[in-house]
């Protein structure tokens, strides 16, 4: 139990942190009064943000209704196919599942999948019927082929204290990111021609994990759904929620389609990326709605041929390529298209992040026709990525860099809250090749609307005139950078 003195010390630290930013000073207007003009700007920004959130919530309800209707129509088609003899449907209830939310239904799922392997119909489906909750321990479906897993009920992971110790030893030859991704609740391993779909949900029971990992980030938490070493896999229409860690991971797999998914975790969730791709090839993310506590979509090392189109990303960090090159490693991402996505209240929309000292390349990337509402800094290319959470000490300048080549940003519309429409911070050692056009952005009321350029190769667009940092300096401390990002770029002085 903390003492009263400890409590007062904690409150003092919080108070000093609040006072440090102009935004929070507004809440203490009696002691630190803002001008009438600044108060008006802040009220208008709040009004516009709240309107954007309300519009998002209405649109999300429409998306959920249409997603569920599509899934229900597919279920009706399946019933008709089964009556004709064109599909074999294996119910998990016929293999011992209780579906009462209390026992462990994972063995029943394994038995149903094994039984489906002997079916001879053109279409084979393992079905988890609606109206039931299937509580399960971790499941690995390995070497499964030509199968549809239809989830119309709810699959729920066990609470944190019911997870066993890891069965597989750590492979120290793997990258840290790869090791983090190999721990999963529901895994497809070496699967071929498999579809996971339905009107139901996969829930991760992640809240206890988040509380622990806020205090101890080194604690390993499981991914909710992992597709590993597989090809020709589709995951569609499901709701994935409250993952202990990343929600959906595609690892070392090819020809994977993620379509019409609803991914959601509440505020306060920790490292709950929506969709992460690592060493994946030919992946489409189509019309997914992703609301998470970290990257909405992250495209990591070794990915080639990724297309993200349509859908809406809410809160979170938007779409990130990287980070790449940490610890002097070699990593590349190539042939990525992000188009037609709406971003609401995310910290960024499209972001490329690389560490100094690494090697490899981010190449042939297009960000096109993006709609941003109440987004922090919509476009970011950062070759000086070095977050305090991963690198507490000072970040040294390095002579090597992951190259950024043939990146096209064409058509970003809407409004932002940071005062910075785009931040293109490129390496002294390897200036980046970024083409920018059709930025139709405005700052929130009272905010500037600038593009920060550093070492961008000459070309048309806002960086054609050379470096322009608008007061930002790399030699500032992290604390000073945060204060500048919160304050000076946004509210204009009287």
Q: State the catalytic residues.
A: 317
Which residues, listed in sequence order, are joined to residue 87 by a DSSP beta bridge?
123
Within 13 A of 255's CA, how many CA atoms are on the CB side? 10
Residues facing 135 on adjacent strands: 156
Do 141 and 113 form a contact (C-beta atoms < 8 A)? yes
Under a CB-based contact definition with an 8 Å cutoff, are residues 38 and 491 in contact?
yes
Count the Cβ atoms, other than its own, within 10 Å of residue 149. Answer: 24
Alpha helices (runs of H) in 301-340, residue ranges in sequence order? none
b/e per residue 262-275 (b: at least 16 CB within 10 A): bbbbeeebbbbbbb
Residues 6+ apart with CB under 8 A from 79: none
Is residue 355 within 8 Å of 325, Cβ to Cβ? yes
Nearest of 194, 204, 202 to residue 234 by alpha carbon: 194
Check: CB of residue 122 under 8 Å from CB of residue 168. Answer: no
Could you give the CA distance from residue 168 to residue 142 in angstroms, rounded to a whole number?
15
DSSP character at residue 480:
H
Cis-peptide, bond into residue 323, ω within 30° of zero: yes
Give the bridge partners for 297, in sequence order. Answer: 275, 319
The angle subtended at Cα 375 by Cα 370 and Cα 381, nearest 5°, is 70
- Cα separation, 423 vs 196, in Å, equals 39
CA neighbor of 394 nearest in space, from 479, 480, 478: 478
**How far, in Å, CA of 380 to CA of 365, rounded?**
13
Task: Let me know: does 436 contact 422? Beta carbons within 8 Å.
Answer: yes
Q: How far apart are CA 135 and CA 97, in angstroms?
A: 9
């Amino acid at each position: 139990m903390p003492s009263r003195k400890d409590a007062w010390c904690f409150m003092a630290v919080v108070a000093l942190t609040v006072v440090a930013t102009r935004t929070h000073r507004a809440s203490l207007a009696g002691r630190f009064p803002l001008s009438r003009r600044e108060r008006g700007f802040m009220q208008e920004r709040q009004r516009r943000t709240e309107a954007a959130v309300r519009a998002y919530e209405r649109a999300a309800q429409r998306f959920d209704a249409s997603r569920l209707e599509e899934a229900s129509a597919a279920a009706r088609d399946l019933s008709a196919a089964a009556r004709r003899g064109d599909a074999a449907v294996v119910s998990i209830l016929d293999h011992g599942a209780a579906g009462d939310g209390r026992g462990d239904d994972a063995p029943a799922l394994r038995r149903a999948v094994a039984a489906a392997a002997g079916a001879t119909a053109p279409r084979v489906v393992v079905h988890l019927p609606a109206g039931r909750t299937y509580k399960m321990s971790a499941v690995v479906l390995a070497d499964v082929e030509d199968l549809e897993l239809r989830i119309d009920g709810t699959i729920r992971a066990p609470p944190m204290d019911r997870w066993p110790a890891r069965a597989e030893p750590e492979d120290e030859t793997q990258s840290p990111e790869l090791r983090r991704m190999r721990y999963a609740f529901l895994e497809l391993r070496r699967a071929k021609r498999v579809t996971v779909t339905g009107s139901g949900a996969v829930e991760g029971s992640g809240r206890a994990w988040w509380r622990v990992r806020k205090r101890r980030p080194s604690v390993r938490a499981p991914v909710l759904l992992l597709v590993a070493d597989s090809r020709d896999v589709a995951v569609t229409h499901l709701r994935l929620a409250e993952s202990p860690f990343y929600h959906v991971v595609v690892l070392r797999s090819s020809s994977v389609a993620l379509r019409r998914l609803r991914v959601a975790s509440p505020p306060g969730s920790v490292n709950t990326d929506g969709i992460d791709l690592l060493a994946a090839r030919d992946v489409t993310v189509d019309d997914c709605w992703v609301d998470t506590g970290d990257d909405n979509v992250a495209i990591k090392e070794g990915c080639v041929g990724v297309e993200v189109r349509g859908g809406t990303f809410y809160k979170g960090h938007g779409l990130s390529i990287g980070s790449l090159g940490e610890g002097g490693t070699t990593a590349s991402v190539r042939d990525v298209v992000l188009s037609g996505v709406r971003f609401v209240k995310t910290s960024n929309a499209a972001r490329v992040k690389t560490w100094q000292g690494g090697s490899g390349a981010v190449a042939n990337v297009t960000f096109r026709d993006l709609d941003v509402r109440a987004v922090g800094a919509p476009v970011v290319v950062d070759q000086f990525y070095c977050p305090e959470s991963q690198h507490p000490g000072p970040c040294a300048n390095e002579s090597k860099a992951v190259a950024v080549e043939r990146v096209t940003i064409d058509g970003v519309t809407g409004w932002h809250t940071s005062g910075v429409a785009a931040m293109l911070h490129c390496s002294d050692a390897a200036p980046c090749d970024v083409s920018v056009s059709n930025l139709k952005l405005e700052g929130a009321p009272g905010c500037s609307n600038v593009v920060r350029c550093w070492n961008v190769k000459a070309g048309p667009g806002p960086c054609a005139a050379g470096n322009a940092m608008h007061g930002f300096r790399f030699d500032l401390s992290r604390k000073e950078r945060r204060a500048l990002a919160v304050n000076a770029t946004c509210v204009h002085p009287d």
